[in-house]
Amino acid sequence: MRIRHASPLVAAIAILVVAACGSRSSDHQSSTTQIKRVSSPIVNGVKDSGSANDAVVEIVHVAGQYIDGACTASVISPHVIITARHCVSKVISQGVDCQNPDVSSDYTPGDLFVYVGPAPDLASEYPKSQGKKIFHTSGYILCNNDFAAVQLTYPINVTPLRVRVNSGPKAHEIFRAIGYGLTNPNDQNSSGTRYYRDNVQVSYYVTKEFTGTQSICSGDSGGPALSAANAVFGITSRGANCYMDENIWTRTDAFKGIIDQAVAAAGETYTDEDGTVYGGSGGSGGGGSGGSPPAGSGGSPPAGSGGSPTGGSGGNPPGGSGGGPAGSGGNQGGSGGGTNPGGPGVHCNGQDDCINGTLCVGDTGTQYCAPECSEQDPSCPKDFECVAAQGLCYLRKGCDAKNTYCPNGWGCIEGEPYSCVPLCSESNNVCAPQYQCDPDRGVCLPTPVFNNDSGSTGGCSASGSTNTGAGAWAFAALALSGFLASRRRRNA
């Protein structure tokens, strides 16, 4: 299938996302950096040539006749690539703060196309493959979760990369970063040439992410961190800016289950860095079609019948026909069922806790099921208001020294300004991740974040590094976004 390119409607931009795991400034303005442009490929990298790195591919999202997103991905089996979650899902926030949803529903898999080579010409070349099914964990926060696998319709005829799934990054490990970033700061259509940089170094790591030195920039999202053995052990997620050392990769070993599901769905195998081969036989499970995550009928985490540790084929989140938290045939699952999902405003821990038409969102220290809305239909249930930009109804909140307009289950806390916060107790801890229940006041408050060298802090806190701004970390989500057309190799 040839993709036709129409004239660009707007300039390409790079979405900047922020991990505001630190405190807010005294004037209560968010430390989230607004969208702005960035303009370099792999920083101080080498322009790639030849086919040695052809298992690192470009993945583009097509909306109608336009390409509105471009990322990097890695081929790990003929029909499976791995990339960043924000490359395959709709981004709904301008910043990552480790508390609130950053993405919503997935793109239609068939709108994802894969190109191979150092500088594929999207204006004239046919894509090598097309998306068939998307796999990722439930949840919509990118912190510690920016990972996805895509099953493809057609095989990519390159030697797949090995993937490190049995161990994590090593302290001060040296690696190669690869991606398709911008090549001309003055030309937002100049992305799509593969660059690499050697001798990038792991500076810090936690359970699901690690930070590394200067290397990544816009267009590099989803690209691999390659070990000395040429195995993928990290997926490019976000960075402070193009020229700083505060860059974050998602650890592949933390998402072995997702890789297992995708490879089992394709009926293939993949190889660990140490030579261990996984896959080749798998029952049903994983996602399924039509239901709610994390599992469909025929399998449940951590194993489907006869399959891989986290289930076999069956679909991608949020799918799962008739499933709840457990499907039949899994190692730890009975036969279907689970607790009934909740409606608007009900506390949730994941999307499977919410009924259709609602989304589990994080909001001011708690998580609840939020109904969908739009500019065309902004109607919301009582005590909710539509935030059309995100397509969701959020609980209406507001209070001051004289009056309280907080939703049921929320209380007004004094401050500048006053604000509604979730009520909690030791027996009813409804606080979201990165929040904790203050037993003295009975409300959810942000968990303090401390920089240290213990290696035990959360994925958004990176110790031993220089803070920027008011103690907050700023990270760039490096997916190229906008409408791109007729890029590269234009005849003079």
What average pLDDT score do residues 20-37 get? 28
Q: How many whole angstroms separate alpha carbon 361 and alpha carbon 372? A: 11
- Does residue 423 or residue 340 have the better pLDDT? 423
What average pLDDT score do residues 220-235 get? 93
What average pLDDT score do residues 356-385 get? 86
Q: What is the CA radius of gyration of the chain?
A: 22
Strand partners of residue 236 = 249
According to the model, what pLDDT value does residue 114 have? 96
Contact residues for 347 (Cβ-Cβ < 8 A; gap 6+)? 353, 366, 367, 368, 430
- Weakest-pLDDT range from 9-23, 140-154, 361-375, 399-413: 9-23
- Does residue 171 or residue 446 have the better pLDDT? 171
User: Which percentage of the chain shows pLDDT scores above 70?
Assistant: 61
Average pLDDT, the chain: 69
Binning pLDDT at 50, 70 and 90, where does residue 191 land?
low
**Residues counted in the chain:** 492
Q: How many whole angstroms separate alpha carbon 409 and alpha carbon 51? A: 59
What average pLDDT score do residues 246-253 get? 88
DSSP state of 265: H
DSSP state of 114: E
Contact residues for 275 (Cβ-Cβ < 8 A; gap 6+)? none
Binning pLDDT at 50, 70 and 90, where does residue 436 land?
confident
Asked if 73 contacts 146 with a C-beta cutoff of 8 angstroms, the reply is: no
Q: How many whole angstroms separate alpha carbon 442 and alpha carbon 140? A: 27
According to the model, what pLDDT value does residue 63 have? 86
Considering the entire predicted model, what is its pTM? 0.53
Structure tokens given for 449:
């974040």
The candidate with the shortest Cα–Cα distance to 207, out of 465, 462, 459, is 459
Query: Is the pLDDT score of 16 beyond 70?
Result: no
- Does residue 100 or residue 26 have the better pLDDT? 100
Query: Is the pLDDT score of 277 beyond 80?
Result: yes
- Does residue 317 or residue 417 have the better pLDDT? 417
Binning pLDDT at 50, 70 and 90, where does residue 446 land?
low
Contact residues for 91 (Cβ-Cβ < 8 A; gap 6+)? 15, 17, 102, 103, 477, 479, 481
Contacts 24+ apart (CB under 8 A), 303-308: 303/330, 303/331, 303/332, 304/264, 304/329, 304/330, 305/329, 305/330, 306/281, 306/282, 307/260, 307/264, 307/281, 307/282, 307/283, 308/257, 308/260, 308/261, 308/263, 308/264, 308/278, 308/279, 308/282
According to the model, what pLDDT value does residue 414 have? 67
Q: Which CATH number fits domain 1-338+450-492: 3.40.50.300, 3.30.1160.10, 2.40.10.120, 1.20.120.160?
A: 2.40.10.120
What average pLDDT score do residues 86-109 get? 87
What average pLDDT score do residues 388-406 get? 76
